[in-house]
Amino acid sequence: MPRYPYLLFDADDTLFSFPAANRVAFAAACAVSGLTFSDELLAQYEVHNSALWRQFDRGEVSKEFLVLERFRRFFAELGIDADPRLANDVHLTALGNSAVLLPHAAEVVKTLARTHRLFVVTNAVARVQKSRLSQSEIAPYIERAFISEEIGAAKPKRTYFDYVFAHVDGITRDNCLLVGDSLTSDILGANEYGLKCCWFNPDHAPNHAGLHVDYEIADLRELYDIV
Ligand SMILES: [Mg+2]
């Protein structure tokens, strides 16, 4: 009998390589906005994008606002008259078409699916994450994906986890493990909801937030001994 028969996996930067997808998507957004892609432009955009996602994690802005505002601010900084809506639309479509998995993610998901029930818990734009998941080789092994935009609440909010728990039969706080890379959404959410958590931390970042981490791994294959 597994220790944690129910596994809740974050998607971006836990199973999927977000930087790889984001780079391709940003380049596509540049192309329709009259810009030539460069790493410098990507870094400039990321300043606005990550600041807005942090605000989103704190519940200060909506997803709809965030996705347009990041491009509005980026274009304003550059002083160009490009359409944030078009840029975002192209960006999201390209993101959804990129299903680059992190090392060992496919092997680990396929192996654990034989003995565990696997779910995805993700803060994301629904159309992007659905498209990416469905195009991915791990799709058949994931019983259900809980996408924040569809639920109307996001990690680390209690209401998000209430929804997950109401829609997974048999799950309890003791028989599940949340696996994720983000301290502010995954680990904080698990702490506040009373779930065991595994921090996927391949870069060996420090836990500045002082959150409780039950397990810490740098390679997804380490899960075999934990779950
Ligand atoms: Mg993540």
Domain annotation for the chain: domains and CATH numbers: 6-16+100-226 (3.40.50.1000), 19-96 (1.10.150.240)
- pLDDT exceeds cutoff 90 at 98: no
Going from the Cα of 192 to the center of ligand 1, the distance in angstroms, rounded, reads 18
Q: What percent of the chain has pLDDT over 90?
A: 89
Going from the Cα of 75 to the center of ligand 1, the distance in angstroms, rounded, reads 26
Active-site residue, selected from the candidate residues 10, 12, 181, 186? 10
Going from the Cα of 202 to the center of ligand 1, the distance in angstroms, rounded, reads 12
Going from the Cα of 145 to the center of ligand 1, the distance in angstroms, rounded, reads 14
Residues surrounding ion ligand 1 at CB below 5 Å: 10, 12-13, 181-182
More confidently predicted of 128 and 179: 179
Q: What pLDDT sits at residue 149?
A: 92
Closest CA to 122 of 8, 202, 203: 8
Q: What pLDDT sits at residue 204?
A: 97
Going from the Cα of 81 to the center of ligand 1, the distance in angstroms, rounded, reads 32
181 included as an active-site residue: no
pLDDT in tens, 56-93: 888 899 989 999 999 999 999 999 999 999 999 999 99
Provide CB contacts within 8 A for 92, sequence distance 6+: 25, 67, 125, 127, 128
Q: What pLDDT sits at residue 185?
A: 94
Going from the Cα of 41 to the center of ligand 1, the distance in angstroms, rounded, reads 23
Provide CB contacts within 8 A for 16, sequence distance 6+: 99, 100, 101, 102, 105, 132, 136
- Say what the pTM is: 0.83
Going from the Cα of 184 to the center of ligand 1, the distance in angstroms, rounded, reads 10
Going from the Cα of 121 to the center of ligand 1, the distance in angstroms, rounded, reads 9
**What value does the mean pLDDT take over residues 27-35?**
97
- pLDDT exceeds cutoff 90 at 45: yes
pLDDT in tens, 183-212: 999 999 999 999 999 999 999 999 988 999
- Kindly indicate the confidence band of residue 33, based on its pLDDT and cuts at 50, 70 and 90: very high
Q: What pLDDT sits at residue 209?
A: 87
Q: What percent of the chain has pLDDT over 70?
A: 100
**What value does the mean pLDDT take over residues 163-192?**
97
